Structure 1
Amino acid sequence: MAHQDEAQSASGTKTKKPIWKRWWFWLVIIVVIAAIGSQMGGASGQTGTQSSQSSSSQNATNNAGSDKDSTNTGSTGTDSADNGGADQKSDVPAEYRSALKKAESYATVMHMSKQGIYDQLTSEYGEKFSAEAAQYAVDNVKADWNANALAKAKNYQETMSMSPEAIRDQLTSENGEKFTAEEADYAIQHLNE
């Protein structure tokens, strides 16, 4: 009987996958890379420029709506423009700026999809941002979603030896990467280039 248990345990260890072939191992690696990337500030030069540009566009939208309200107080709404943009950054809430910075990190370091980033930002197990802050972030992040889908597809092909159809399914899955069908099609078309 002891001999059978030893034989079964020996045969059981032969069927186990190596740790690097398990999905959760890669998830842990991705999370660690994201954490390191966010600590380093990602591409700090680009992030500051993109954040300023998105703040400017958001401020222009806010100013257009606040012009109506400012007529009651005697303000013209052009005062912030006359300040050389010094007030523009303060018009965007800190939570929104933080969400945008995280979104940029997820898009550039982890090549995530737009929906994947939104879900990560709002997840109670992720970043826990408000839905509004997450929506602001994904609306203002500068990313090439086709390129992100292609990077994910190549990663699946190289590390997991998946077929193109399995990769397409993983890219578009609600439980997977959550890319659009068009982004997945682009990735599959350019997979071997």
Structure 2
Amino acid sequence: MATYNISEMEEALENASSIVLSDIRGTFKEFFEEISKNNFKSEILKQNSFIEIYDLTDHASHENVFYGQGLYVIFTNHEIGENKCILRLDEEVVAIYRGECFTVKRRIESHLFNEKYQNSYEKRKTEKLNAGKKFSEPFYGACIKVDPQKSGINIDKPEYSSSKWKVLVLKMSGSSSPIRKQAELAFDDVFTKPVASRD
């Protein structure tokens, strides 16, 4: 009688997937180690076509942030407690958060301009629905926690506006979340998980 074993198939698939994901993680680890050789200077990093760096101050400064898929790292000189992450940018700001996303620009807005993000999200949603169109944009409710009790911050408000804020984006157009998650893990392998990445 012809038969097949689903559990064996699932196990084989899981094993193959684990190997591939481990290789991808290794590739990103090599990438991070390579770009670290120049002490993470913005002017050198920007020469790499995969990397974008932004100085963020007010909401308008967020307009040029890369929109697509990628890994992003938030840096600041704002004091937020013990941070084991060793990555510093331009010797003036330290990485406090790293994440991956399908739409980096919106995600950065949700983290650092949370109030404006929530208002603009509701506005976009209302306008689309009122026009009889579908609205499928995800809502980013879980955001950076500088204060462990509060999700999202507003760096254009007095509490944070006197600090420096920079974002590095590793552009990964066409990538899926499992691949981007390997980049996150590789980042942690090389630099240690930043303090506000509380996943």
TM-score range, shorter chain: under 0.3
Higher relative contact order (CA 8 A, sep 6+): 2
- Which has more helix, going by share of residues? 1
- Which has more strand, going by share of residues? 2
Which is greater in Rg?
1
